[in-house]
Copies of this chain bind each other. A is one copy, B any other.
Amino acid sequence: MLSTTPRTTLGRGKQRARTDRDDLYAVLDAGLICHLGVVAGGVPMVVPTGYGRIGDTLYLHGSTGAASLRAGGSGEVCVTVTHLDGIVLARSAFHHSVNYRSAMIYGLPRLVEDPEEHLAGLRAITEQLAPGQWDAVRPPTRKELAATAVLALSLAEASVKVRQGPPVDDEEDYALPIWAGVLPLRTTWGVPEPDPAMTAELEVPRHIASRTITIG
């Protein structure tokens, strides 16, 4: 079960709330980037960034010099992962909507200092974007590790919201001669584009070539 703190208990759209921890994992594991919200000088700052999950911990990373991580280190953050699944086309302008799956996580991130957890966090972040790459490429040097801060955020306080299915119109609008339904959205992989600077003729590795066509 997910937490039910005041800020993870939905005020609006209650019927869209999911309360199972597996729903949270599913939204996070299907994502590629999150939007990290921090407060910097009293003002919110929303930054798209990579992430990875190990159990009930979310890992974020960034240069040790990044403003968003400095701000995040001193206060609570909100991490949101959103999958947009379709546009909901209703018979009335008012009932237009979107189908989506989203997760919001609140918490005070912890700067990872343990070298093993630091490496595991970076691995999780890399594998989230590019499964199979960590073991296929040159591992980080000591200098590269020192330049990369890793933050750990507990998944203790999180909410999940899902909307799916056709529009919900006002009773009297169903008789209108207006097409209604859902225009689905899919995220698909294109054909891998080799780096023109490759010095040898290398085949696209299976773990890249075999990624499923439709994700999210």
Contact = CB atoms under 8 A, between A and B. Distances in A.
A188 B185 contact: yes
Contacts of A104: 45-47
B129 A87 contact: yes
Contact of A98 (B33, B191, B195): B33
B181 A192 contact: yes
Contacts of A66: 11-12
Most chain B Cβ neighbours within 10 Å, of A7, A78, A79, A92? A78
A44 B33 contact: no
A203 to B, nearest CB: 7
Q: Which 8 A-B pairs have the closest CB atoms?
A: A184-B190, A37-B44, A37-B46, A166-B195, A35-B35, A46-B80, A180-B195, A48-B82
21 contacts: A11-B67, A35-B35, A37-B37, A37-B45, A39-B42, A44-B45, A44-B46, A45-B78, A46-B104, A87-B130, A93-B133, A94-B148, A96-B126, A96-B130, A174-B199, A179-B202, A180-B195, A181-B198, A182-B192, A184-B192, A187-B188
